[in-house]
Chains A and B, each alone.
Chain A
Amino acid sequence: MKWETVIGLEVHTQLATKSKIFSGSSTAFGAAPNTQANAVDIALPGVLPVLNKGAVECAIKFGLAIGATLNRVNVFDRKNYFYPDLPKGYQISQLAKPIVEGGALKIVVDGVEKTVNLTRAHMEEDAGKSLHEDFHGMTGIDLNRAGTPLLEIVSEPEMRSSAEAVAYARALHTLVTWIGICDGNMQEGSFRVDANVSVRPVGQTEFGTRREIKNLNSFRFLQQAIDYEVRWQIETLEDGGRIEQATVLFDPDTGETRMMRSKEDAHDYRYFPDPDLLPVKLDEPWIESVRAALPELPAAMQVRFQNDYGVSAYDATVLTGSRALADYFEATARACGQGKLAANWVMGELSAALNKAELDIAQSPVSATQLGTLIARIQDGTLSGKLAKQVFEGLWEGAGEVDAIIEARGLKQMSDSGELEKIIDEVLAANPKSVEEFRAGKEKAFNALVGQVMKASRGKANPTQVNELLKGKLQ
């Protein structure tokens, strides 16, 4: 039987505010335990939450960026459950009236564009951290993270492979960091993914029973976990078994998912509107001022890059992987006036060097202006591609500006045809066998001669010019 995979993602993004969603405690990462947890965060009796305007503004930005409906009046609810890292006994979240509903994101997988619709995004508070190491058989609780603002972003179950799920998660990651509402740091838990996965026979309209994989904190784990889960579900069904709705965890060491809890002990959260918080009202002037301050978004920039710089759809997606990368590319392309060549250099030589040195584009030792100048020197014939790579190395080492490096290292492409002719004559004299073979009709011999000339010129000859001159001399 042929099976189809159905995936929906729930992503928790930590909002990049200075203070917590309902208190004035700091949200800075890595502080000593409980030093950033005030009376509201630890739920002392008699305290009241006061909503952070910055957190709401982040949610508005997101809603605008994905073309969603912003609920002008939205409501906080209590989600009730008992766990020691949730000191109130409930999490403040949004259920019936979330701030954001609808919207969509575009993804590209194997050159095919697809739109993934979003269901909703709602504000909520994060819980604290439980440390189960040995505290005389007890659990240690750090409430620094309790009350950190989150935006939970829920997609429709519209992804059909792990590759699509990863593409969606990446696009979402790019977007939330692009508009500055999340730092995107997955190691620190700022962007956590839950995947709802089910399978069904191809052609069936009803969904299969889903299992939810919790808390995936890297794109690689997301892919591995879904691939394992899909295989497991198909095998279970083909062996005549049934899938029970469940929550599972992914173990990166074994690459397997294992059951955390089944539906039977699923929580009954008994949601109800939080009487401590009034409904939140978004007025038009506020929304419009947030809209006006939004940067150009990745999707719009991709279209513009294709139109203005002639890059492919795939290249445009890669180049808008982050705002810093997009800005770098655009500055380079403007400096040299060569969009396609700029794209090749940014995604090729530069990205490879950055990866090798484990540097971010913002830390690149080669500036966009320098790279643009380098590309302009290829365009005006001063440098061959090969020589340009040597100049790039010089730029990377901080050896100075492009023209100074070309001068100092003698990397200028040979443009004097007299000098080149001299080299060609020498090569022809030294390789009579190749000349004879070429005259006998062997094309390969010609290439060998070109190689010899390039070598004799120490790479400085212009290959096109070599071809022309050589042909002329051999006729």
Chain B
Amino acid sequence: MSLSPDDVKRIARLARIETSDAEAQATQAQLNTIFDLIATMQAVDTRGIAPMAHAQEVFQRLRDDAVTETDRHAAFQAIAPAVENGLYLVPKVIE
């Protein structure tokens, strides 16, 4: 499997990365080498092996349900670009 220039453009748009045609072409070549690597891995016989979601055979530690955090919004908002009435202000996006 290999990616077309359109695939690369689409992935870039989904990730909100602006790409020139030259960049898209260079990236296409790089991504396709990654696909070669995946193809090599997919050739390995994995019959009888359960799929893993994580590289290690360990499980998630759980936290007791308790409120342990205090209000630190003043410190967080001191480094925000724009703040009003306790809200973070961002460029308008309406879906």
Q: Which residues of A contact B (CB under 8 A)?
A: 17-19, 23-26, 32-39, 42, 44, 50-56, 73, 75, 80, 82-84, 97, 130-132, 135-143, 260-261, 268, 270, 273, 275, 277-281
Contact = CB atoms under 8 A, between A and B. Distances in A.
A36 B71 CA distance: 6
Nearest to B70: A38
B85 interface: yes
A132 B87 CA distance: 11
12 contacts: A24-B63, A24-B68, A38-B69, A39-B72, A39-B76, A50-B63, A54-B65, A138-B92, A139-B93, A261-B95, A278-B60, A279-B53
Contacts of B88: 34, 84, 140-141, 143
Given A50-B61, A275-B54, A26 B89 contact: no
A34 B82 CA distance: 14
A141 B87 contact: yes
Contacts of A278: 54, 56, 58-61
B89 A135 contact: yes
A25 B89 contact: no
A424 to B, nearest CB: 70
Q: Which 3 A-B pairs have the closest CB atoms?
A: A54-B65, A24-B68, A140-B87
Contact of B68 (A19, A39, A139, A280): A19
B56 to A, nearest CB: 8
Contacts of B45: none
B16 A82 contact: yes
Contact of A83 (B61, B69, B92, B93): B93
B92 A280 contact: no
A37 B74 CA distance: 11
B49 interface: no
Interface string B78-95: 000010111111111111
B63 A52 contact: yes
A137 B89 CA distance: 10
Given A19-B68, A24-B69, A82-B16, A138 B89 contact: yes
A269 to B, nearest CB: 9
A282 to B, nearest CB: 10
Contacts of B44: none
B93 A33 contact: no
B63 A84 contact: no
B73 A37 contact: yes
Given A23-B69, A52-B65, A273-B54, A268 B86 contact: no
Interface residues of B, number: 35
Nearest to A35: B71
A55 B60 CA distance: 14
A130 B92 CA distance: 9
Contacts of A137: 92
A42 B66 contact: no
B43 interface: no
Given A34-B76, A140-B84, A83 B62 contact: no
A140 B65 contact: no
A20 to B, nearest CB: 9
B67 interface: yes
Nearest to B61: A50
A170 B92 CA distance: 36
**Chain B contact residues: helix, strand, loop or mixed:** loop
Contacts of A142: 86-87
Contacts of B65: 17-19, 52-55
Contacts of A136: 89
B80 to A, nearest CB: 9
Nearest to B68: A24
B92 A141 contact: no
Given A24-B66, A277-B60, A35 B73 contact: yes
Given A34-B87, A36-B71, A75-B53, A42 B61 contact: no
Contacts of A84: 88, 90, 93
Given A83-B95, A84-B90, A278-B54, A25 B60 contact: no
Contacts of A24: 63, 66-69
B14 interface: yes
Nearest to B63: A50
A17 B66 CA distance: 8
A54 B87 contact: no
B64 interface: yes
Interface string B3-32: 000000000001010000000000000000
B33 interface: no
Nearest to B77: A34
A281 B68 CA distance: 24
Given A273-B54, A275-B54, A51 B90 contact: no
Contact of B53 (A38, A268, A270, A273): A273
Contacts of B92: 132, 137-139
Given A37-B73, A141-B89, 20 more contacts: A24-B66, A24-B67, A33-B73, A33-B85, A33-B87, A34-B76, A35-B71, A35-B73, A38-B69, A38-B72, A51-B61, A52-B65, A53-B62, A130-B93, A137-B92, A138-B90, A138-B92, A139-B89, A270-B14, A281-B59
